[in-house]
Amino acid sequence: MSVLQQEMRDNMSSVKTFKPKSEADLASMILGGDNFEIIGGGTRAIGKLDAPPRNLLDMTGVSGIIDYEPAEMVMIAKAGTPIADIEKALKKGGQRMVFEPLDYRPLLGTKGKPTIGGAIATNASGPRRFVAGACRDSFLGARFVNGKGDIIKAGGRVMKNVTGLDLIKLLAGSWGTIAPMSEVTFKVVPQVETEATLVLYGISDLDAAKAMASAMATPCEVTGAAHLPQNIAEQFKELDGKSATLLRLEGFEKSVNLRIEKLQAILSDYSEQHVLNDKQTKTVWTSLRDVTPFSDGTQDPVWKISVAPMAGHQLVAEFGPADAYYDWQGGLVWLRLDGDHHVHKVRAAVKKVGGGHATLVRASDEHRRSVSVFQPENPAVAEISKRIRKQFDPLGKFYTGRMG
């Protein structure tokens, strides 16, 4: 046993934060200790608080871009690399991450810097998700350390390399409950020349759902479809205070302008229309992505609910007048409620509209101790999840409370 491993065992009686500086450090720490909660920048702490004190395994020391060649449209980075560093390098290369990872800091009031490993571990996917795929769909490969301290490589640099592909997909969205990643490989796409948003004003949630469905059926290549009821739209200086249905288009300027005109003609029944320019579009969609309409400094419960696109407005109707807005063509509902007594009603509403997933993203610590913040798994899926964790972490070293 190494000196580091012995020190880890001696210190397990008290909760500590361990910060590996390399993959080898990470493997040694895992081999020598247990009861770990894996964290990146600490910006997405939304899980349950029902477990004994855990030792924090802080991955921010395993940081840096390993390989990036714009011509290959692939980046390899250490898991603790800040997303800001990733975006800076991609911008220089004229590229971007297509999945638009959302930043929970405004909503949760957390500090730190979001990391690429944290984005993948939480499958953090923004407004483009319903047309471009989730974060996991850009995830090509990884190096990680299992619960026995073994360093494992899975996946590759291209989608055609299917070796271990399904294995890495298990890591995306696992919330650090099966293994910490030390290195990730993901695909990137070219940056667009411009973007614009067609706004339809003054229509109901139901009519907005229909309008978004109509827009998606056109060849106009809409890359964002959201609806803001009036009480949400009023928070945006770029909008005129009425309910607003937003349809985003991206690409070369001439193409965007032509497609905007075509979309306006197709949706001419909605007579009150307006077009947001590139700067306004970026501002509004970033705000929607990061849930800033609900970033009020309180702990009022905020739910992230994924349902069928035409079911979103039906779900919100179950709560009467409610603070909510819709993304992903109506399939993603951000819902803010007052009080901590709505969990059963939320679960029932999801079931009533045909099923989906509801995650309690923000709530008081007391409330999070008493409920499952993630959608409960059915018994068959729960058994599969249990077996997967057993394979990755046979000794039960990693905290699983975040999974409900």
In this model, does residue 319 exceed pLDDT 50? yes
In this model, does residue 49 exceed pLDDT 80? no
What are the pLDDT digits (tens) for 245-297?
A: 999 999 999 999 999 999 999 999 998 999 999 999 999 999 999 999 999 99
Per-residue model confidence (pLDDT) at position 298 = 92
Q: In the structure, what pLDDT confidence band is assigned to residue 320 with cuts at 50, 70 and 90? A: confident
Worst-scoring range by mean pLDDT, 5-9, 12-16, 79-83, 386-390?
A: 5-9
Per-residue model confidence (pLDDT) at position 12 = 44
Q: Which of 5-19, 302-316, 376-390 is modeled with the greatest confidence?
A: 302-316
In this model, does residue 97 exceed pLDDT 90? yes
Domains along the chain with CATH numbers: 1-191+374-404 (3.30.465.10), 194-289 (3.30.70.2190), 292-373 (3.30.70.260)
Per-residue model confidence (pLDDT) at position 261 = 98
Give mean pLDDT, residues 207-228.
97
Per-residue model confidence (pLDDT) at position 176 = 87
Contacts 24+ apart (CB under 8 A), 367-375: 367/301, 367/340, 368/46, 368/47, 368/48, 368/49, 369/48, 369/49, 369/50, 371/48, 371/343, 372/48, 372/404, 373/46, 373/47, 373/48, 373/402, 373/404, 374/402, 374/403, 374/404, 375/347, 375/350, 375/404
In this model, does residue 354 exceed pLDDT 60? yes
In this model, does residue 164 exceed pLDDT 60? no
Per-residue model confidence (pLDDT) at position 6 = 44
